[in-house]
Amino acid sequence: MEGGRGGIIGTFFGIIIVQMIESIIVAVLMRGRKQELIQKMPGKVLITSVPFNAFAEAAAMLETAGLEIVRCIKPNAEECGPADFGGTMPGVHAVVAGMERWNEAMFRCFPDLEIIARYGVGYDKIDLAAAKEHGVRVTNTRVAELSQSVAEGALLLTLAALRHLPMLTGNMKQGIWRGQTGASLFGKTVGILGFGAIGQSFAKLLRGFETKILVCDPFIAQSVVDQHHATPVSQDTLLAESDIVSVHAPGTPENRHLIRAETLGGMKPTAILVNTSRGALVDEKALYEALTSGRLAGAALDVWETEPTPPDTPLLSLNNVVSLPHVAGDTRECVAAMVDCCVRQVTDALSGKQPRYVLNMEEQNP
């Protein structure tokens, strides 16, 4: 027994020692990573992104680089604007941007600005031409974790709409045990409007359901579509044949109200519309009319024409609408990866290196 107890104690202390060594190694690696990322650079960084601001370690890394942190964080997704900066803010060399609009008036507020590191993928609120005119590079965070997280969000919304999850949850809270019978995703035809990184990630997730995948994206090569066992079709064909239409097109001015009365009229009355891209792509008034008239079975929306979305928005009153507050990409893994990407972009740009994912300059992204 004594030998056994001694062996147990020895093993216990051995585990502790191993854990201590592992902790030291991790600390050394993190210190080395910071040294790799950080060089001393004077100036200020303006943070307007709420998720980025929530990560204390990210701000600490910027401060370690000698950068002063300035914040414009507003409640309930309100936008920062020129009035918040008292005319001009000299000394701000970088911005980690949220969803605020960057136009000529905003750029004039920041005479020393070198980079806008957009937290997220969409940049429809940033005037890229004005940024270039002012010598400001604009980047976004096209990290793999974001594509995967938003694709998972699209799948979540799809299944929730097919199985009437919001209505069934509401029924149970009211003491109603049964509810409307749902539909299966297995074997359905899914149309993907926009086949970039997120659309492709969504297609991968659909494979396990043995769905037929239709794709409409004139900018994607046939070889890419073939890799995902999808079929390229026109928009009209996609709308007419799909049981689920998932929107992943970019939020450009040309795509505003891509889904409107005419396009909704071309969909099956049993179909479901899913949007995790940008709210402006869908005409909400036309969608409401289609859902209440029986011309469309359901919708699942993560993005809205007005954000934050007022609680009296008509679509929110419908039982055949699944609604989320623009959180399809909000996973811990995705947020951590995007924060890290923004820090790297800022420190690279201000130390004379080329940042990744530059949107508005004629330079090769590494």
User: Would you please indicate which residues are annotated as catalytic (active-site) residues?
Assistant: 278, 307, 326
Contacts of 54 (CB under 8 A, 6+ apart): none
Q: Answer whether the bond into residue 308 is a cis peptide, omega within 30°.
A: yes
What CA–CA distance (Å, rounded) separates 349 from 318? 47
Whole-number Cα distances in Å, 290 to 260, 263, 269, 310, 348:
10, 11, 9, 21, 49
Look at residues 302, 300, 301 and name the one whose alpha carbon lies nearest to residue 326: 302
Look at residues 272, 331, 326, 335 and name the one whose alpha carbon lies nearest to residue 304: 326
Q: Token pair for residue 297?
A: 């079975």
Torsion over CA: 179, 180, 186, 192 (sign): negative
What CA–CA distance (Å, rounded) separates 264 from 134? 41
